[in-house]
Chain A
Amino acid sequence: MGFYVLRRVIYALPIALSVTVVCFLLVHIAPGDPLNAVAPADAPVEVINALKVAYGFDQPLPVQYFRWLGRALAGDLGTSVATGRPVLAEVMTAVVNTILLAVFAAVLGFSLGAVLGGMAGYRHKGIVDRIATALSVIGVSVPHYWLGMVLTIIFSSKLNWLPAMGAGPGGSKEWLWDAEHLRYLVLPVTTLAVIPLGIVTRTIRALVADILSKDFVQALRAKGMSDRAVFLHVVKNVAPTALAVMGLQLGYLLGGSILVETVFAWPGSGFLLNTAIFQRDLPLLQGTILILCMIFVLLNLLVDIIQPAIDPRMRRS
């Protein structure tokens, strides 16, 4: 097991390194001048040149990359060109806000998805199955920013039940665990939960239906095992794949949704990315993408490590 974990960690390293190259290059390939964040288009040429030198944008790209990587490894992602605030602090604040949404959305999406998927798998082709399938198709296909807008129109604009945007009346720094603040979570969490709900439902439904048709289940039943005990066997067989899917979904959720967070003006990593993109704030953009990618790589690693712990077949392979 130790060797397996080590191997997984070693596999993750080149992935992480490639991620740094891709996120550095993508940001530089994108149109627009990074100095737009600080200098208006009518800034004199001397000012623009001075700023280029000040921010190191006058250096060749490989030099810029290695300098950036060196600093990033030391935990310094630089400072935002637009605000002068340290990128790491900006990203971490935003990521914490996104985690708040992601965890609630994951709990809601995964638990409802598991229940619906399980029920649909057991009642294959029955009415519950049809409803669950319809819900999962909707979940996967509805553009979630659109759903967010519709929910806002209904519950905020029309009914005035829930806040339309923001992370609490005093901003995310004054977050409290009370009913007034939790209300701010309802709409973004519901919107975000819809995609994992759809995917998890579909996956678990297919897995359960498949496993129930396997010979070993017939054999277990033939041996007179109770439904409850058979159910536990099904769960054990479904768990590894379901876990992998949930891990990926959690990764997407933690990455923050630019669209959902912008629709709800939620100060998370997606909202931060949106700001960084519009301001051409390269250090902030690179830092945010890097941290999000690393979270994704780490989550995948974690799933890779947990899977064999619950599935002995994988340990053997």
Chain B
Amino acid sequence: MRRLTTCFAGLFLALGLAVPPAQAGGTLRIAMTASDIPLTTGQPDNGAEGYRFLGYTIYDALVNWDLSKADKPASLTPGLATSWNIDPKDNTRWIINLRKGVKFHDGSPFNADAVVWNFEKILNNQSPQFDAKQAANVLTRFPGIKGVKKIDNDTFEIDTKAPDAWIPYELAWMFFSSPAQWEKVGRSWDKFAAQPSGTGPFKLTKLVPHELAQLEPNADYWDKNRIPKTDKLILMPIPDPNTRTAALLSGQVDWIEAPAPDMIPNLKAKGMQITSNVYPHTWPYQFSFVEGSPWRDIRVRKAANLAVDREGLKQLLGGMMVPAEGLVTSDHPWFGKPSFKVKYDPEEAKRLLKEAGFSKDHPVKAKILISASGSGQMLPLAMNEFIQQNLADVGIALEFEVLEWQTLYANWRQGAKDPASRAGTATNVSFAWQDPMVAFYRFMHSSMVSPNGFNWGWYTNSEVDTLLDQARATFDTAQQDALLAKLHTKLVDDASWLFIAHDVGPRALSPKVKGFVQARSWFQDLTPVSMDK
């Protein structure tokens, strides 16, 4: 027996001592939270993470996000289009000028024909290149686009169903795959996935499904300032946060997405860099305005907003959140000037509830639909329990209906009246708000009630509808922002949501990772990142 033990210990040590040093130099290895490699054909799946790592790396949009700054919200910047203007004679026609001399990774030219071909892959299910998967991933981003036409080799037009000033934001979701490469691989998107060709700063050089994607710099990239500084970028799907942390600590990866908040002090102690920055994310309760919902009373909505101790919540998350004062952050041009200040004031909350006929002994009763986990949901159980205690202190008794994440997400569209909502009067789904469509329109416009959009709570307000319609038809950005600020002011003054938190997108990076600037965006630029040798 002793011999056996010695033998095992020896084997173990021999294997242990054979550990090669962690890979260094020009290879950046990133652990994603996805459970598979996001789709590489053009329009990635896996939400924003897919766009971050296999969208904006291999591909470009006509309009890109400027991800170079950490101190202000990311804004739109020319990508494959150099300019986009509304036709002065027809406000449903956008004219887009394309960047000249851009080539796909396979060497074929990017031009208006390629643009039209790519729109057809999404919009025209009769075209040979139509791809249901890519269409499903992106179609919802273009609610306003009717069709596209080539004008000349470097110009094309977009026709919209109605005047739509939000088209530039929508274009930032659309990536361009090489028609020539698609022909070369035998007109198959599944084969294209293994050998994709875009115009982006990185080229995919290896794909092992479920395990890794290897990208290398595109030396011919059109923006010479954004030629990647790493030799290789390796992306790995590691869904478990503990495994990601262990992989970083053992030197198997250099960068992990979303470390669990309770791991952060430990990672810091081991010398890892923790980066975070507020970005267009919000974690609210979306109220139901359906008959019978207690939130129909503005005093109750305001009381709930005043009862949440957001600083306490921030402590619970190890500092990894920003207290919400509205749906958007208070420094954003759309924030406006609300007179109702979203803050922690339990005494005022109690007073409002008393006025509405409620107290701690006779509390408002409300059922909230929540999830136990999910993308962007932060730490839903712990956070909700914290809020439950806060609200109980002032006289609002919350009961939770915990749904599986996909079920909660699907219910978002079904709306509060649907039996699947189990008489819930608020839902806790976090979301992105980087453009007016996703930030406001899909939740607030009365036309967006089930089954059209995410107006879960059947919120209807003609003033809000008018402001949204005006903003969508206002092509001057400053004027459009002013209208949206007016809208947001109204939403906060109405306490139409329970505004709780914004995530700050924590990531942990090995001390060898240099040059990363965490933009205030769901997307990040990997081109300036390099590895210290």
Contact = CB atoms under 8 A, between A and B. Distances in A.
A263 interface: yes
B18 A278 contact: no
A164 interface: yes
B332 to A, nearest CB: 23
Interface in A149-200: 149, 152-153, 156-157, 159-167, 169-173, 179-180, 182-183, 186
Contact of A164 (B137, B246, B413, B453): B246
Contacts of A38: 45, 132-133, 136-137
B489 to A, nearest CB: 26
Contacts of A180: 18, 20
A183 B19 contact: yes
A267 B237 CA distance: 10
A156 B406 contact: no
Interface string A124-158: 00000000000000000000000001001100110
Contacts of A275: 35-36, 210
Interface string B9-47: 000101110111001000000000001100100000101
Contacts of B247: 156, 164-166, 265
A92 B452 CA distance: 41
Contact of B240 (A45, A50, A160, A262): A262
Nearest to A169: B23
Interface string B98-115: 000000000000000000
Contact of B139 (A36, A47, A173, A265): A47
Interface in B393-408: 404, 406-407
A93 B210 CA distance: 11
Interface string A35-48: 01011111111010
Interface size for chain A: under 10, 10 to 19, 20 to 34, or 35 or more residues?
35 or more
A153 B246 contact: yes
A271 interface: yes
Contacts of A179: 14-15, 18
A105 to B, nearest CB: 15
Nearest to A272: B210
Given A47-B135, A85-B190, A42 B454 contact: yes
Contacts, number: 164
A22 to B, nearest CB: 21
A43 B135 CA distance: 10
Contacts of A33: 406, 410
Give the size category of B's interface with A.
Answer: 35 or more
B363 to A, nearest CB: 31
A54 interface: yes
Interface stretch (B249-257, B287-295, B301-309): B249-257
A88 to B, nearest CB: 14
Given A162-B15, A262-B243, A42 B140 contact: yes
Interface in B188-228: 189-190, 193, 208-212
Nearest to A38: B136
A73 B506 CA distance: 48
B125 interface: yes
Contact of A265 (B190, B209, B238): B238
B239 A262 contact: yes
Given A167-B211, A278-B35, A152 B243 contact: yes
A31 B406 contact: yes
Contacts of B240: 262-263, 265
A82 B412 CA distance: 22
18 contacts: A32-B404, A38-B132, A39-B136, A42-B442, A43-B136, A45-B451, A50-B132, A82-B133, A83-B36, A84-B189, A157-B250, A159-B16, A264-B243, A267-B210, A271-B35, A272-B210, A275-B36, A278-B35
Given A47-B139, A165-B252, 4 more contacts: A33-B406, A163-B250, A166-B236, A171-B212
Closest 9 CB pairs of A and B: A171-B208, A164-B246, A156-B250, A157-B249, A171-B211, A161-B16, A39-B136, A32-B406, A179-B18
